[in-house]
Amino acid sequence: MTRPNVLLVMADQMAPHFTGTYGHPLVSTPHLDSMAERGVRFDAAYCHSPLCAPARFSMMAGQSVSSIGAWDNAAELPASVPTMAHYLQDAGYRTVLSGKMHFVGPDQLHGFEERLTTDIYPADFAWTPDWAHAGDRIDKWYHNMDPLEEAGQAITTHQIDYDEEVGYTSRRKLLDLARDSDDRPFFLVASFIHPHDPYVARPEWWNLYDHDAIDLPDEMDLGELDAHSRRVRTGIQADTVGFTEAQTRNARHGYYANTSYVDHWLGQLMQTLEESGLADNTIVMFTSDHGDNLGDRGLWYKMTFHERSARVPLVMAGPGVANRTIPNVSSHLDLLPTLMDIATDGGDWAETTPDVEGRSLWPLATGGTDDVSETTGEYMAEMTSRPIYMIRRNNLKYIHCDTDPPLLYDVDADPLERTNLADDPDHAEAAAAFAAEVEQRWDSDVITEQVMASQRARHAIHRATDKIRGARSWDHLPANDVANHYVRNHQDVVDAALSSRLHVPAKETP
């Protein structure tokens, strides 16, 4: 077998808890279910940072937020930071991105040979937080309760428009790769925006669900919320504007519908692999950048290290992949090493990736063992004024912020994280060990100054560029080489027809 292709399908803000694949009784995800039934499902996978851009940048680079300065949704991923696309391109792969990656700055490729669509979000510094005024809302782009009011049905939205484009271009690219004479393996990322709020779905997906059957969040005494959760509630106006039970059910209905919509596109792409003869030599991976609280703890969206915000689905299927579930803790930091193991057939690639912080999951994915069950997380964006760190090791999760009391949860025994064990005498030794580890791993004073220095610089640049008439946008402009599409005068019409034809694979011929 030649080196396998890799198709990485990403959702946005999809918590595994709200998929049929991970046991939700209502949510329909048949194509992801099918992947898990013939492949590997990772049951304790996390984003490194529970916010769109930092989650994606740390995944792409295989490095922590503080290592690469991926502080928030307006942080620039430096062009000097190598990504999984760079490493795979160097290893002989064709690298293609379709859809969202939330790159900020003038480098809108970061190692991808081709980028088929623009991004859905801006590439400039407009969304930069301000820790010098951490309690102030930035109404232009901070989350609030409007998405709950907007939740419902629509024929189309800007998000539906975007995902239709992402799905089409990804499917078309797979067909092009199948009929191309270039024999390099490919790495294609298809990255969708749904089920990200505002929870608006087309009728065919909305109507999959009985509205009255939509489940509501588990109850919790909001007076017992941790300090950061209270800040997030204030930041999104959940504690002032608030939300009703009807809005909660409506928003969840739209979220479930859009989860099924993304699953539909996953099915379309897997069908395209089958039809084009690529399936037998393509590993398919599915994940999300982070989750969504969906009303748990009185919270919506992301921005915390609680399970529904920070956990992500991670499923793999394809040649060489075993059929099993994996309880080991893992994270997005592990995807780059995993891809390098795939690209090099387990070869010696570590010397060329000295800064990568994760570990390869390929031994686990192919039926082997791994004694490691841990990961870390960092959050340095809005609604805090100091870094927040997370360590998940085996069944325990520890969360630290200099301004807040520590949090310690036994996630296996207490999956809703209702009981903070940080002051529990039976867990005193573990809490002390985690506290010491945080102090050893991170220098909060140094990191805080780095974050605030970056914010000051970005605010200054944005103020200036905002005043330039006709300032050139950093937003990606996809190439469209129409001079070589379909039939053109430099081609013979018969040759054009033959070269574009993709035959039915032999095994499917009657």
Contact 183, 91 (CB under 8 A): no
211: left (phi over 0), alpha (psi -120 to 50) or beta: alpha
Separation of alpha carbons 204 and 202, rounded Å: 6
Q: What is the DSSP string of 119-174?
A: -SS--SSTT---GGGTT---TTTS--SHHHHH-EE-S--HHHHHHHHHHHHHHHHH
Cis-peptide, bond into residue 195, ω within 30° of zero: yes
Contact 251, 12 (CB under 8 A): no
Separation of alpha carbons 163 and 120, rounded Å: 10
Contact 125, 462 (CB under 8 A): yes
232: which 2 tokens?
Answer: 């997030």
Query: Which residues are known catalytic residues?
Result: 52, 102
Beta strands 40-46 and 324-331, pairing class: parallel
Separation of alpha carbons 236 and 49, rounded Å: 18
With CA atoms as reference, report the closest residue to 135 among 65, 223, 230, 225: 230
Determine which helix (DSSP H) or strand (DSSP E) holds 375, and give its type and residue range.
strand 374-379
Residue 509's CB is within 10 A of a number of other CB atoms, namely: 7
Give the sign of the dihedral formed by CA 145, CA 149, CA 154, CA 157.
negative
Helix %, strand %, coil % of the chain (to 5):
40, 15, 45
Separation of alpha carbons 238 and 46, rounded Å: 25
Beta strands 94-99 and 407-410, pairing class: unpaired
Separation of alpha carbons 439 and 397, rounded Å: 16
Three-state SS for 200-211 is EECHHHHCCCCH
Please report where in the chains the tokens 């391109």 appear, as a residue. Answer: 89
> Under DSSP, is residue 480 helix (H, G, I), strand (E, B) or coil?
coil
Compute CA distances 4 → 179, 182, 272, 344, whole Å: 17, 14, 16, 10
Chain centre to alpha carbon of residue 507: 36
133: which 2 tokens?
Answer: 């005024």
Contact 441, 460 (CB under 8 A): no
